[in-house]
Amino acid sequence: MYKPAGKRILDLVLAGSGLIILSPLFLLLTLLLCFVNKGKPFFYQHRPGLNGKLFKLIKFRTMADERDASSSDSERITEVGHWLRRQSLDEIPQLLNVLSGKMSLVGPRPLLKEYLPLYNSFQFQRHQVKPGVTGWAQVNGRNAISWEKKFELDVWYVHNVSLRLDIKILFLTFKKLIFRTTTIKRETSIPDKFTGSSKI
């Protein structure tokens, strides 16, 4: 009953309310990033969503455009970008993805499209639901845990979706944002890229 109709209603109500409440901050950060990033406050990238179908993800831009062969993603993050990532404010524009129906508030995080052919059959199950702004793996270690553990948590969520679980994840996400822990730096750092695991 909850999935998909009830989940969609929850997404529309909470994402719509969130955008209204956060609109002053949204506008302020957009103007700030316009100045920092030479008129480009947003970052767009195609990511795999439900059933692996690509959609255009939107986030606040945290990296400089300039890059060379020796520069890593972590080296391209601006000072403002570091702050946005630590506070998870770069994720706010994804509420627009939720309203458009391409994402849900809760679900496995949308990863790079290059990872699609690297998943084994177990890991690909994460695409049986819409990707989320937050998820079970995010409240259980985020980038501080291994890829295998993330996928295990993602697939567990897919098989246990419920209103109660989504509310729990949203509560834990809010709690993490309010009560910052000493592990937050590791959780919000850029992870090593996924290179695949055994095919099953």
Whether pLDDT at 69 is above 50: no
Interatomic CA distance for residues 52 and 144, integer angstroms: 25
Q: pLDDT: is 23 or 86 the higher one?
A: 23
Interatomic CA distance for residues 135 and 104, integer angstroms: 10
DSSP state of 162: -
Average pLDDT over every residue of 12-19: 97
Average pLDDT over every residue of 59-69: 76
User: What does the pLDDT look like over 17-42, one tens digit per residue?
Assistant: 999 999 999 999 999 999 999 899 99
- The DSSP annotation for 37-50 comes to TTT--EEEEEEE-G
| pTM across the whole model | 0.88
As given in the structure block, the two tokens for residue 50 are 């439900």
User: What does the pLDDT look like over 87-126, one tens digit per residue?
Assistant: 889 999 999 999 999 999 999 999 999 999 999 999 999 9
Residue 50: pLDDT band with limits 50, 70, 90: very high
Average pLDDT over every residue of 169-198: 75
User: What does the pLDDT look like over 142-181, one tens digit per residue?
Assistant: 888 999 999 999 999 999 999 999 999 999 999 888 876 5
